[in-house]
Amino acid sequence: MLQREWTPGWRVPVRAMLSLHRRGRADPAYRVATDGSVWRAVHTPDGPGTLAVAGRADGSVFARAWGPGAGWLVENVPAMLGAHDDPAALTPLDRAVARLAERVPDLRIGRTDRVWEALVAAVFEQKVVGDEAYRAWRYLLTRYGDRAPGPVPADMRVPPPRPRWREITESDWHRSGLEPVRARTVRAAATVDVERKADRLTALRGIGPWTAAHTRIRAVGDPDAVPVGDYHTPSVVGLALIGERVDDDGMLELLEPYAGQRYRVIRLCELGAGMPARRGPRMPVRDYRSF
């Protein structure tokens, strides 16, 4: 085990920041322990590793890590928690954003520097309800991921490295319940080393602006990434900023004055105003395993 204590110059909401990387309540790569610490299994450039992060009452952060990737993980804890981000880059231009910034002071955007991990999870979530994507993620990690190192539950898994995604059989893609077009997108993307190409993801077949934005948000901490085409985000932004729901065009118009910091405003809306009440029937969870 390696460990690290880090004292930032601001109070870090560890669980809120790392929750962006959780893929459903039963994500094999993510746990919240009884003591409140967050545990993540990650395939790092040095191999698989498990990271446990906890915030302390004095404002410091305590991290522990296990496995071949332990050193890389503890070294990158500050980046994951927003040390390289600059919240002062956002200047509120209206009362709504100023009010949200007061509710969520020192909002920072973290980065994992693991583009493939963020990309493949975002592909799973393309145009589907979360439960459908999370079911497939859970099945394939359980079957193809390495057991997470360290004192973790037996069912905790490290997401497979990029080459291994090409080894997944057609029958296992089918058993996961993943739609065939998304399986093909993952397989095709797995032929490319995307870690240094986060700004060119839409050049890959099946990767559009929505998928690229969600990947950049998590992997590189892009403060301007806007997930156009998202089911909920326009309503979140519209209700938070002007008190009414808007579509993608309306959201982009509201965010235009904040070019360069648009995702930061989106995140302020999510954390400072919350999700809007649901309207209409829920989208159905499809199951391609029965086809």
Instruction: Print pLDDT tens along the chain (291 aa).
Output: 999 999 998 989 999 999 999 999 999 999 999 999 999 999 999 999 999 999 999 999 999 999 999 999 999 999 999 999 999 999 999 999 999 999 998 889 999 999 999 999 999 999 777 788 999 999 999 999 999 999 999 999 999 999 999 999 999 999 999 889 999 999 999 999 999 999 999 999 999 999 999 999 999 999 999 999 998 999 999 999 999 999 999 999 999 999 999 999 999 999 998 666 555 444 455 554 554
Pairing of the two strands 157-158 and 61-66: unpaired
What's the number of CA atoms in the CB half-sphere (13 Å) around residue 108? 22
Query: What's the pLDDT score for residue 231?
Result: 86
Phi, psi of 130 (to 5 degrees): -60, -40
CA dihedral 208, 46, 68, 211 (to 10 degrees): -10
Phi, psi of 213 (to 5 degrees): -65, -45
Phi, psi of 164 (to 5 degrees): -70, -25
DSSP bridge partners of 2: 65
Query: What's the pLDDT score for residue 279?
Result: 54
For the chain, what is the radius of gyration of the CA atoms?
19
Closest C-alpha among 255, 261, 227, 259 to residue 96: 255
Distance CA 261, CA 259 (A): 5
Which residue shows structure tokens 């989208």? 283
Distance CA 68, CA 42 (A): 11
HEC readout, the chain:
CEEEEECCCCCCCHHHHHHHHCCCCCCCCEEECCCCCEEEEEEECCEEEEEEEEECCCCCEEEEEECCCHHHHHHCHHHHCCCCCCHHHCCCCCHHHHHHHHHCCCCCCCCCCCHHHHHHHHHHCCCCCHHHHHHHHHHHHHHHCEECCCCCCCCCEECCCHHHHCCCCHHHHHHHCCCHHHHHHHHHHCCCCCCCCHHHHHHCCCCCHHHHHHHHHHHCCCCCCCCCCCCCHHHHHHHHHHCCCCCHHHHHHHHHHHCCCHHHHHHHHHHHHCCCCCCCCCCCCCCHHHC
What's the number of CA atoms in the CB half-sphere (13 Å) around residue 234? 14
Residue 121's contacts (CB-CB under 8 Å, 6 or more residues apart) are 23, 133, 137
pTM score: 0.91
**CB-CB contact of 85 with 109 (8 Å):** yes
Query: What's the pLDDT score for residue 287?
Result: 58
